[in-house]
Structure 1
């Protein structure tokens, strides 16, 4: 599987869970020790990811466009994306997203996630 296919597979699972407002399913896309930086102070691990997405408003959606991909090692892929978070009651929020995917056993998961809000 290509780097782009791997990244899309993981991010499509993430997006599906975000769009469905299923925080535990979002968290399952991450490694147990993932470093997660949303738009609030960072957390480490799936519990922090789940809590972050549980606090998001109902109706939140995510769309993404991959800008760059690098395979850093056999089991590590870096992705740089443009993301837009949609809301039901306010304008969308454009952002940049950097993710580091790690292969854990036979699964690819997000080991590092960092959002940067656009000015």
Structure 2
């Protein structure tokens, strides 16, 4: 696994643990203070908006992701493009595409600074 993939997998695994546990504060902790967050609702800035978004999600929602592309944009910036399947206990799975930009300087300090979901018809 290359460094960029390793960085993104570490960040996304922390995100997934929070999503799967329905722990909005844990999800928000994966984001930078100035993160631009665009889920399937109007965008927000920073961890508080992320926490509010995930608090509004139904109990039992789980996220499974497949990292499709990665790019090293700078020493402290990596880009990830992935497919995410959000499954629910009482409705069909929702599949989306997600672009993220993570910022950091060592393994423990990488956070998501930009999160953009696309729901493409297919």
Question: Could you say whether these structures have the same fold, taking a TM-score greater than 0.5 normalized by the shorter chain as the test?
Answer: yes
Corresponding position of 1:9: 10
TM-score, normalised with respect to structure 1: 0.97
**TM-score of the superposed pair, with normalisation by structure 2:** 0.94
Structure 2 unmatched runs, 5+: none
| Secondary structure at the counterpart of residue 104 of structure 2 | strand
Structure 2 residue aligned with 1:24? 25
> Please, what is the CA RMSD of the aligned residues?
1.2
Question: d(CA) in 1 for partners of 2:13 and 2:104?
Answer: 16
Spell out structure 1 runs of 4+ moving beyond 2 A: none
Alpha-carbon offset, residue 104 of structure 1:
5.7
Rounded Cα–Cα distance in structure 2 between residues aligned with 1:104 and 1:44? 22
- Where does residue 58 of structure 1 map in the other structure? 59
Shift, 1:117, TM fit = 1.0
Tell me the matched-pair count: 119
Structure 1 or 2: more strand by fraction: 1
